[in-house]
Amino acid sequence: MTVLDLLGDAPTESPSEVPPVVELRGTARQFPGDPPVHALHPADLSVGAGEYLSVVGPSGSGKSTLLNLLGLLDRPSDGEYLLDGIPTAHASERERAALRAGHIGFVFQAFHLLPHRSVLENVLLATIYSGVPRAERRDRAVAALERVGLSHRLDFPPTVLSGGERQRTAVARAVVSQPRVLLADEPTGNLDSESSEAVLELFDELHAGGLTLLVITHEDDVSARAQRRVRIADGHLREIA
């Protein structure tokens, strides 16, 4: 089994029937203060199933703020955010946790792997919260790690892995429970160019397999890998033609 098998072919339905995976409707985030910080000005964005989108912008431009909103880790102070057609801005914490578990896969700059658990256990962690049937968890996790080329590292602690291997473990964890969208915040920020390339190739393959990807970066060559690019500056979102 491979992740490509798991993810299956791209959806066959025509786009008009299917709501976008990610849809921002005048979504804004400001942090209270004196003066208040407008980290994200009201933004509209629609990402369809299977799209590969990058958000590029300099440090402090509001990229992480945007990703936290998209990942349901934070609530917009204004506007609505629909995930897979489901309105989330005023959903309960419980619903939002369930959506995070089932619809979203995260890849962070700092990997966020548990140091005391093996590579396999780290991937299994995602299946626990997303509710993958217990009997399928191990097979899926092993398949996901195989897919990212780490089947020989299943029982290693992440602390002995290289940065590239750690990030690939994190990617395996992000896709193991078949999210609707993969959100990556500076996924190559802590990697050398070779490891970065391996991770970006992985993203290309996942995209080819039909996964919706949204990658946030400050590097232009990383953002150039995406099919569609959005620039963010001072909290303003602008599509790059």
Ligand X SMILES: Nc1ncnc2c1ncn2[C@@H]1O[C@H](COP(=O)(O)OP(=O)(O)O)[C@@H](O)[C@H]1O
Q: Where do contacts with ligand X occur on this chain (CB under 6 A)?
A: 31, 37, 39, 57, 59-65
State which of residues 31, 36, 87, 97 lies at the interface with other proteins (CB under 8 A).
97
What's the CA gap between 50 and 16, in Å, rounded? 14
Q: Tell me how many degrees the CA angle 18-177-69 measures, rounded to the nearest 5.
A: 65
Q: Least CB distance from residue 241 to other proteins, whole Å? A: 29
Binds 61, which of other proteins, Mg ion, ligand X, none (CB < 5 to 8 A, cut-off by type)? ligand X
Q: Compute the least distance from the CB of residue 224 to other proteins, in Å.
A: 27
Minimum Å gap between C-beta 207 and ligand X is 23
Alpha-carbon gap, residue 52 to 234, rounded angstroms: 23
CB of 230 to ligand X, least distance (A): 13
Q: Please pick, from the candidates 13, 34, 155, 194, the single residue that binds other proteins as defined by CB under 8 A.
A: 13
Span interacting with other proteins, options 113-121, 191-199, 200-208, 227-235, rule CB under 8 A: 113-121
Cα distance between residue 126 and residue 105, in whole Å: 9
* 155 near other proteins (CB under 8 A): no
Residue among 228, 223, 227 at smallest CA distance from 61:
223
Residue 97 in tokens: 């946790």
Residue 115 vs residues 34, 41, 77, 231: alpha-carbon distances, Å: 40, 37, 35, 35
Burial of 117 (0-12, 13-18, 19+ CB in 10 A): middle
121 near other proteins, rule: CB under 8 A = yes
Q: Which residues bind other proteins (CB under 8 A)?
A: 6-8, 11-13, 18, 49, 68, 71, 73-74, 84, 93-94, 97-103, 106, 108, 110-117, 121, 125-126, 128-134, 137, 173, 177-178, 180, 210
